[in-house]
Amino acid sequence: MATMQSAYDFEGFRVVHPLDDAPEQKCESEGLGPIAMTPSVRLSLIVLRGYLILMTLMLTWHVLDMAGIFHKLK
């Protein structure tokens, strides 16, 4: 069985850093409007928002407690 020889000699991949690469044309987003959400997606986003607010309040409370703010108020 004969193998086919290719005239192309592979020398490797050329890696280009994104900052050195030519800029790409951006997609136009005008006139698209809001994305329709299902009720389950809306509920999930509301729960996520509540979770992030709760975690932020807990972190703030912990930082203020570690700083001794609450001990000075007594």
Q: Do 70 and 64 touch, CB atoms closer than 8 A?
A: yes
The whole-number average pLDDT for the span 56-68 is: 94
Nearest to 69 by CA among 60, 21, 5: 60
pLDDT tens figures, 42-57? 999 999 999 999 999 9
In which residue are the tokens 């050329």 written?
A: 14
pLDDT tens figures, 8-40? 777 788 888 888 888 888 888 888 888 899 999
Look at 24 and 2; give whichever has higher pLDDT. Answer: 24
pLDDT at 74: 62
pLDDT at 1: 52
Single-letter code of the amino acid located at 27: C
In which residue are the tokens 């005008």 written?
A: 30
